[in-house]
Amino acid sequence: MRDVVEIGMGKTAQRGYHLDDIAIVPSRRTRDFDDVSTAWQLDAYQFKIPCVAHPSDAIMSPTSAAALGQLGGLGTLNVEGLWCRYEDPTKLLESLAALDDDGRTATRRLQDVYAEPIKPELIAERVRSIRDSGVTVAVRVSPQHTLTLAPVILDAGVDILIIQGTIVSAEHVSTIDEPLNLKEFIADLDLPVIAGGCTDYKTALHLMRTGAAGVIVGVGADAWSTTDMVLGIRVPMATAIADAAAARRDYLDETGGRYVHLIADGDVNTSGDIAKALGCGADAVMLGEPLSRCEEAPASGAWWHSAASHPKLPRGSFGMADSALGPLEQVLFGPSDDADGSLNLFGGLRRAMAKCGYRDVKEFQKVGLVLDR
């Protein structure tokens, strides 16, 4: 059973597990690859694959968000990103792609670039551009700017709103500003909201109670993230997802049937990681750096988190541009000619599901796991 460890007299810690600590255990039966479905549906929106893009400018422009949507995933745009700060950020993205530093020079460059104010008029333009492609439109805003930017965003006509910060709680306390009351805010909207990240059962449950359609689990940590070093926060994703899945079950029970989707954001680097995140109970994964390796990536393979450009406390290293592995379609669906799980991400998921005998993602959440580290 789960450990509550006494790390010192009277001070306890829950033991948590990372996706790397676990693996999937095939058993029961096997199934034909072609009999397996990876489909996902959030509210009225249907997706061929359970894939949400991380709203980082490194991977999501209006163009690439549309491309991901057309291939069956959910593209996203950060309304606090470069596309809503600059009329044409193309040159800036090129200059970031050309950076040959992954240290302070790069961080300062990111800070400079993001110091430009957000231009509300650009938000409408970007949203329109994505919608014109015919895909589901999702934009991300931080909790701090939600109240200010919501009118513009809603007027622009998005389908899904993502309210995302490193840590988002249902109850933000401030003696200075009027804080965002998520529950009231969501009640007034008639579009689905995805909110997070969160890292534990209680916060996940409280976020569900705000009326969110989806909850982001995790803080987007990957090899470039430095949240651990800067804030002391490190999220064992297998545990965080499974705990949030327990919150989903309890909330389903308390509401008599409201199913809130869990989107795993962190430590998902390969097709094997996608399978493990879903096997722990996630409904979908949020992909960041893995999508930076496709030809359509706006920053030509460079990678950074939103938090990497924080003006006073950046929390993420800059990943220098690398050559693309292939077009987005190949990254998602293969064929792969790279054996390390970076190509054919959702073909790999599907084959893992087939080897375990499952038909769909919801069933696959029950797959057996082994803990071996």
| Contact pattern from residue 19 through residue 58 relative to its own copies, giving x for each residue in contact according to CB under 8 A and a dash for the rest | --xxxxxxxxxxxx-xx-----------------------
Closest-CA residue to 332 (of 287, 364, 301): 287
- 173 sits near its own copies (criterion: CB under 8 A): yes
- Under the criterion CB under 8 A, does residue 220 sit at the interface with its own copies? no
243 token code pair = 């705990």
Other Cβ atoms within 10 Å of 189 Cβ, number: 12
Q: Give 368's strand partners.
A: 25
The stretch near its own copies (CB under 8 A) out of 58-66, 84-92, 292-300, 352-360 is: 352-360
Taking CB under 8 A as the criterion, the residue among 56, 61, 107, 136 binding its own copies is: 107
Is 335:344 a contact under the CB 8 Å cutoff?
yes
Q: Which is nearer to its own copies, 130 or 268 (CB)?
A: 268
Indicate the residue among 159 and 243 with the shorter CB distance to its own copies: 243
How far is the C-alpha of 360 from the C-alpha of 314, rounded, in Å? 39
CB nearer to its own copies: pick between 9 and 44: 9
Of 66 and 321, CB closest to its own copies: 321
DSSP helix/strand/coil, 264: strand
124 neighbors 155 (Cβ within 8 angstroms): yes
Our CB check for its own copies shows the closer of 68 and 307 to be 307
Under the criterion CB under 8 A, does residue 166 sit at the interface with its own copies?
yes
Distance, CA of 282 to chain centre: 11
- Identify which of 242, 247, 221 has the alpha carbon closest to the alpha carbon of residue 306: 221
Dist CA 69 CA 71 (whole Å): 5
154 vs 231, beta carbon nearer its own copies? 231
Among 88, 100, 121, 177, binds its own copies (CB under 8 A): 177
- Binding flag, residue 232, its own copies (CB under 8 A): yes
Q: Shortest Cβ distance from residue 338 to its own copies (Å)? A: 5
Nearest alpha-carbon partner for 154 in 125, 180, 189: 189
CB environment 70-80: b (16+ within 10 A), e (fewer): ebbbbbbbbbb
Among 131, 145, 183, 234, binds its own copies (CB under 8 A): 234
Near its own copies by CB under 8 A, which window of 15-23, 64-72, 126-134, 183-191?
A: 15-23
Number of residues that bind its own copies (CB under 8 A): 115
Q: Looking at residues 254 to 293 of the shown chain, list those that interact with its own copies (rule: CB under 8 A).
A: 270-276, 279-281
**For its own copies, which residue of 317, 328, 332, 361 counts as binding (CB under 8 A)?**
317
Which string of x and - marks every residue 69-88 that binds its own copies (by CB under 8 A)? --------------------
Task: Report yes or no: 153 and 123 within 8 Å, Cβ to Cβ.
Answer: yes
Question: 113 — phi, psi (to 5°)?
Answer: -65, -35
User: Is 238 one of the binding residues for its own copies (CB under 8 A)?
Assistant: yes
At 52, which amino acid appears?
V
Q: How many CB atoms lie within 10 A of CB 346?
A: 22
Of residues 108 through 147, those in contact with its own copies by CB under 8 A are 108, 111
